[in-house]
Structure 1
Amino acid sequence: MVLSIAMCLISFSGFACADVFYSCDYINIASTDCSRFSDDITCGTNLVTYKNKCEFSKAHCADNSINLKHYGPCNGADGTTSSPVDAAGAEVVFDFMCTSLSHISCTPGGSKVCASNGRIYENYCEYEKAKCTHRELNVLDCQI
């Protein structure tokens, strides 16, 4: 599953919004420093322990077969027992991006975005913020 979302490219030195769809680009940009994110230890289905959602997201974006096995560090029993979580990696990445996006203010301007809820958003950044809490939203073609 490839994560495809319209995203403001965010960095800690600022951000710029672009009117294109990105696939894990936010996670893979050089300015995304995972050490700046709080610890949130998870175990991947590849039996690697990740320090936080950023590190897990980078691994999933590099290999989309990696999913969340469970919260907490991997242990010796992980290879032999089923997991209570086994969440799709793309959902964890989406949650991570939404958390990051929630901490910034979208700059005005850019192309307006028509959404399936009937609203017209000022730009993709504002649309993505709304999509974080209403995941069923989709972009629609419309005349503005």
Structure 2
Amino acid sequence: MWKLIVFCCLVAVCLSQTAVDLTIICKYVSILNCNLFANHEVCASNNITYDSHCMFSKAHCQDRNLHLTYNTSCSDAGHKDGGSHGSQTTYEFFCRNLLHTHCGTDMEIVCASDGKTYNNFCLFEKARCNDRNIFIKEYNACA
């Protein structure tokens, strides 16, 4: 089931080309057990401190107007560093997790705009996490 959900997320993101479909990313985030992630408190625009980027991402998926205000607790007035747009934070959280996911051996060869052939959507999406400008040119090996 887990592989199917990840695969569906990857396919949907790939099909969106340069735009990230946050709805699909949120489906992926919604099944994660945030207790498995290290606590790193973050403060959101609703002035609530979330225990981790996982918890923040789940909250952002419920309220797309929610953004990351500080990379620390809301009550830590002495050390407040910059925030970011909630969708960007959620996508970066997705990418960090995807980079640690085994892609498997499924062969769904794609040629990307970077001129590289990827053996499956998962490998392409990992590359896309590093360069969001790449997109699928064709569903064959690159010439």
Q: Contact 2:110 / 2:118 at 8 angstroms: preserved in 1?
A: yes
Q: Deviations over 1:70-127 (max 9, x none)?
A: 11111397xxxxx752311111111211111122211112422332211121111101
Match of 1:139?
136
Contact 1:67 1:87 in 2 (8 A): yes
The number of residues matched between the two structures is: 125
1:102 is aligned with what amino acid? L
Q: Within 1, Cα distance between the matches of 2:130 and 2:137?
A: 18
In the alignment, the residues of structure 2 paired with residue 66 and residue 34 of structure 1 have an alpha-carbon distance, to the nearest angstrom, of: 18
Q: Is the 8 A contact 2:71 2:83 kept in 1?
A: no
% of aligned pairs identical? Answer: 31
Structure 2 counterpart of 1:94, which letter? Answer: Y
Aligned residue in 1 for 2:52:
52
Shift of 1:64: 1.0
| Distance (Å, rounded) in 2 between the aligned partners of 1:60 and 1:40 | 16
Matched, 1:20 2:9: no
TM-score of the two chains, using structure 2 as the length reference: 0.75
More helix by share: 2
Residue pairs, 1:24-103, within 5 angstroms? 24-29=26-31, 32-75=32-75, 85-103=82-100
1:114 aligns with 2:111: yes
Q: Write the distance in 1 (CA, Å) between the matches of 2:98 and 2:76.
A: 36
Q: Look up the equivalent residue of 1:140 and give its one-letter code.
A: K
Q: Secondary structure at the match of 1:64?
A: coil
- SS at 2:12's partner residue? strand
- How many angstroms apart in 1 are the aligned matches of 2:140 and 2:120? 15
The 1:132–1:143 alpha-carbon spacing in structure 2 relative to 1, beyond 3 Å, is closer
Q: Quick one: which amino acid aligns to residue 25 of structure 1?
A: K
Change (3 A) 1:52 1:76: closer
> RMSD of aligned C-alpha atoms?
2.3
Question: How far apart, in 1, do the equivalents of 2:42 and 2:99 lie?
Answer: 22
Q: Which has the larger strand fraction?
A: 1
